[in-house]
Each structure stands twice: as structure tokens, then as C-alpha cells.
Chains A and B, each alone.
Chain A
Amino acid sequence: MTTVHLGDMKPGASGIVSEITVGDTAESIVVAERLREMGFGEGLSLEVRHDSLFGRDPMAVKVGGMLVALRRKEARQILVSIKTEKAA
């Protein structure tokens, strides 16, 4: 079990949400709240599904029963426990 940032994961990688982090900016608090509202919550399973050709941004992530689009910058606030090696 290792922990990585969702923002560093590639399509096909999966794991369990372990933490939503908050930085020291007000913006990161709002982003964390928004991420929770959109269904990112500790203990839910997660899988990176798609990203885009240029800059691999944005990405589409399956979390629980929902598919959510977000950019890698915000995705770095989500920590994921992974079993597989290939994600890191």
C-alpha cells in the first residue's frame, strides 16, 4: 500500500481515497469542500478513466458511483491509497 496524489495518477490506475488535503490558501479550502460535494470522500474507491491529449489535463475520475471531471492541479489535493504498482 502506497499513497499517491490523484493528480499524479494515470488512466487505468485505481485505489481508495485516503484523504482530502487542504493547503494554506483560502482557495484550497473551497476546492476541498467542492471535491467533497462532488463525491470525493475517504473510503470510496476511485479509478482514473480518461485524460486529454494535451498536458493530460483535465482528467475524468470514477469515484464511487460517479464520474467526475477535474484538473490535475485540484486533483493533487486528493490522496489515494493504491495497491497496484503501475499508478505511481
Chain B
Amino acid sequence: MTAPLPPLLIGLVGNPNCGKSALFNALTGLRQKVANYPGATVDRRTGSLKNADNIQLIDLPGTYSLKSRSPDEEVTCRVLEGRMEGEERPDAIVCVVDATNLAQHIRFALELKSLGLPMVVALNMMDLARREGIDIDVAMLGEKLGIPVVETVAVRGAGMVAFNDFVRGARSTLVANVPQKEDEQDRTSLQRRAIKIANEVTIAEGFEHRATRILDRILLHKIIGPIILFATLFVMFQAVYAWAETPMDLIEEGAAYLQGLVASGVTIPWLNSLLSDGIIAGVGSVLVFLPQIIILFAFILILEASGYMARAAFLMDRLMSKVGLNGRAFIPLLSSFACAIPGIMAARTISNPRDRLTTILIAPLMTCSARLPVYTLIIGAFIPDETLAGGVGQQGLVLFILYLIGIVSALIIAFVLKRTLTKGANMPLIMELPKYQLPNLKHLLLGLYERVGIFIKRAGKIILLAMMILWVLSIFPGAPQGATQPDIYYSIAGLIGRGLAVIFEPIGFNWEISIAMVPGLAAREVAVAALGTVYSLQGSEEAVSAGLQGMLNGAWSLPTALSFLAWYVYAPMCLPTFAVAKRETNSRKWAWFMAIYLFALAYAAAFVTYRIALYATGA
């Protein structure tokens, strides 16, 4: 037995789109841990190298240079320079370089030499380079750079073994290998030198990535491009409905089966009610939306991994520039369709502080996955499941319209903000359009696993707790003698609900909805769970078996349902979003501003919707 080697921390650095994260995933797999940097919300990804547990890798946010321009890039620079509080400076760095973009990527490698850290260049995407006919003299490249160079193929495991062995075998030499600084440090000189080196070591220039060229001819086409983008988003929202149907039915049946088990197995009435009405009805009514959330996240992850997301930003730039933002803001906004929290955090890649603030403020208007339970519940209960001309489902269409209202509202708000509170010059768009890649299934599943895990944890913790508290408030005190209303009407929750109903009455919300609004402040989907609990507690056995949708259909008028939808397009019923906005803007004031303007909009929209619907239905 040899004594264990001392721990080694290796930083993974590189330009965005160089395949750095894929490399990290391939090297660490499920051993990776995601956390936050202290004081910053940038994901801190670390993981141990396979069969070498005392070697830790840290995946630093992609950046084009050591001169940071966004909060995201700032983290990379600070960690590398050892200025990040609470974070160890890496013992060595691996600079990931895309072999197909050699001339442009090795400039950064040259710049990194100034750090005085031991360094290795991972020449990534070598398989792609070979397929494109690019031939590089790897030994000569290492010589010219004055840094050891290893070839890697991140998306496949094969090159990984070599890399793994290299890092482990070379750890003693690696740590000793501090490269010499370049003589001239200014950007232009470094770039000149990089281009010169690239020319010298490139044996064959190869031909261009054909798939990218052909795909871009279609996807970035002036007319066809935007149509495809719109169609892609439309298909995405239709799929959320169509593909999730079967698994959702299964989850519902599962919940009903559990309730059945509880009904026959648990004889203590209050425990029976807590388990059945409180926990299973509450948590079940949220978990049932898991299939839809998985589908939505899968779409967004595929769009990101394939390289299409940057194209979407390109196509949207013209429109975004009209409201004073640039196409880059479209990416955090699209992520916000899954959840505003990663969306707000993704705004970190926007370098201009005013543009970033504007993007953060409008991100909650993008229809996040937590609204899906609300929308699908109401749509399912009130919009007939009919197929319109062209095979388009009517329910899916309504959902798409709700998404559209959110987007249009966001653009209008951005337009107003950029002319008032966040006034400033229009910022340039300079953005790399990465090569198209077939998303790697393993990495996709890893990403899904991470995001779905967050959703389930939320369902497990916040929702479970909220539901149990609500259940307690809903059954105490019991109904008085000769009560004409269901028990819950006389409970503490009922009292609160009836009190709040004064505020919500003008927009058509009854006291049951008003109750659901209180725990619903914590998260949007909680409202659905709360409605599940409230109606389940007051309903007869038959009504309960008809499901929540059936009950709502009987209890609400159409104007109330539409008003409820309008409220949820705008209302910031999500405490975590509020917390993240506060942290990311570093300002309580802006977080409050966000909450207040959204509530005001929600109330106004619900009011108008309710009144128009009342008038239209002749009531």
C-alpha cells in the first residue's frame, strides 16, 4: 500500500462552446456535485476523476478571456486568480480548446499562461476535426505553446480514458509544469501569435462542418428561419400536452389507488383525512404534472445542447432590439419557460447591467413550468377537448395563447422599462453561433435528472409542508351544529379565505380560491394542490372521485376560470423567484418593484378578463 497522494484541484477552463462541460460530464459522470459559489449564484460544478478520488475537477463558467464582462465570467477570473472568497485556487488548469477553431481558441490558452499556474491543453473535438479533414501536428502545437497538449473527444468516452490516465500519470510533472508567460501580453499581440501558431501547426485546414452549413442555410434563412423557430416553439407546447397524457393518467390512477389503500387500511378518521385529503391529494395533484415538466425541460435542454438556442437568439435579435434589448436576452427568457429561477440566473451572461436588470424583471412573465399545473387544470376543466382544423388541439391552442400573452406582455414591459427606469444605450450583440451537435443522450439525462430532482424536492418539501398546514387550518374548528355549508367554510382557513374574498371578489374569485392564494404565494403549483385539498375536504365522495377538474367545472363559472388564468399569467406567486431576483439584482428595492408591478398587472388583467367574460356570457 502506498500512501494516498495529496489532493489536487484542477480547474477546467475554456471558451463557451468548446465542449468543456461535455468533457467535465464525461470525466466525472454522476460523481459531480452542483452547488453555489459562496455569495454568488453561479453553479459551482465539481467532481472527482474516475479511479482517482483525490483529483477533483472544477468546471468553471466558459469565458473568452480573463477580462470578465459578465458576472458569470467574473467567477472564472476570480477563481483562477485566487481572489474568490471561500474558494481554493486550483492547483493546475486544463484549458479546453476546440480543435476545429484552433486559431481563435488558442489565444485564450496563451492568455492563461500569464496566471502562472501549471497547465495542460485539452485539444477537444478531435473526432469532429478529423471528420472535417483538419489535421493538426499536436506535438508541434505543444512545443509552440510551451504547454503539454492532450487530444480528447468529450462526447464519447474513448478519449477520456487517455485523458484520465494522462492527468493521473502526469500529476507530478503536471504540477511542476508552470508555463512561461508570453512576452507581449496585449490582446492584439496574443491574437497575432495565436493565428501564427495555428497556421504553423495546421497540416490540413479541412473543410467546413457540412451539417452546420446546410442546417444554417435553412434555419437562419430570412423567411424560413423565423417560421421554423415559431413552429418549433408551437410543437414544444403541443407536445407538452399530447405526450404527457398517458403518464399523467397513470400518476392519477396511482394517487387514487393510494387513497383507496388509505381508505381501507387507516381506520382513524383524522389520520385518514390527513393522508388522503392533505398529503395524497395535495402532493399528487402537483406530481401529476411531472411528465409535462420533463417534456418541457427536455425540449429546452435539446435546444441548448444542439446549438439551436444561439440561432433562436440571432433570429430574435431584431425584435428584441425594438424593445431595447438584444437577442442574447432571449436565451434567459426561453429558459424561464421552464422556470424563472434558472432564467434569472442565466441573465448573468448579459454584460450590460441595465439590460440584465430589465431581463430579470420580465423573466417571471415567461410561462414557467409551475404555471402548467394551473393552466392545464383550468383548461382541462373548462375548455372542451376538441380538435380544430389542421389537427390542432383546442386545449393546446389555448395553452399556446397563454404563453403568447406572457411573451407579448414581457416585450411591452421591457419596452417601457428601457425608456424609463433602465434607460440606456442599445447594447451590441456579438455572439458565437456554435456548431450544431447531436445532443448526447447521457448528458441530456443528467441535465434532466438534475432539474427534475429540484422540482420533486420542491414538491416534497415546500408543498408537503404547506399542504399539511393547510389541512390543519382547514379542519379546525369543526362546523357548528346545524351548519349549512361544508365544514371547511367554518374553519380558520375558511375564515381567512372569506376575509380575502373581499379583495378578490371583484375579479371573480370565490372564498375557496382565496384560501388557495395564501399557500399559493409560496409557489404557483401549490395553489393547485391547495385547491385539491380544499375541494377534496368539502366534497362528497362522488365529487372527489370525479377528480379536481370535475369539481371545479361544477363549482366555478367560466368567467371565474378565465379570470383565474389571467391572474396566473402575471401574478408573481413564487417566493423563490422573489428571493433569486433580490440576490441577483443585489437589491431589495428591485425585487419589491418586480413583485408589486406584477401583482398590479395580475389584478388589472384578471379584472378586465372577468368583466369582459361576464358581459360576453350575458351574466
Contact = CB atoms under 8 A, between A and B. Distances in A.
Nearest to A54: B318
Main secondary structure of the interface of A (DSSP, over half): mixed
A71 B317 contact: yes
A51 B220 CA distance: 8
Given A33-B67, A42-B192, A69-B327, A58 B433 contact: no
B428 interface: yes
Given A41-B103, A41-B191, A41-B195, A49 B216 contact: yes
Contacts of A67: 212, 216, 432-435
A51 to B, nearest CB: 7
Given A50-B220, A70-B430, A65 B104 contact: yes
B310 interface: yes
B392 interface: no
Given A50-B220, A65-B104, A38 B429 contact: no
A87 interface: no
B310 A69 contact: yes
Given A69-B314, A70-B431, A53 B64 contact: no
Interface string B357-401: 000000000000000000000000000000000000000000000
A35 B192 CA distance: 14
A85 interface: no
Main secondary structure of the interface of B (DSSP, over half): helix
Contacts, number: 117
A71 B428 contact: yes
Interface in A7-41: 27, 31, 33-39, 41
A68 B431 contact: yes
A36 B220 contact: no
Interface residues of A, number: 35
B195 A58 contact: no
B32 interface: no
B187 interface: yes
Interface residues of B, number: 42
Given A42-B192, A58-B317, A65-B100, A74 B64 contact: no
B65 interface: yes
B102 interface: yes
A34 B67 CA distance: 10
Contacts of A35: 430
A65 B434 CA distance: 10
B101 interface: yes
Contacts of B100: 65
A66 interface: yes
Contacts of A69: 310, 313-314, 317, 327, 429-433
A71 B431 CA distance: 10
Contacts of A49: 216, 220
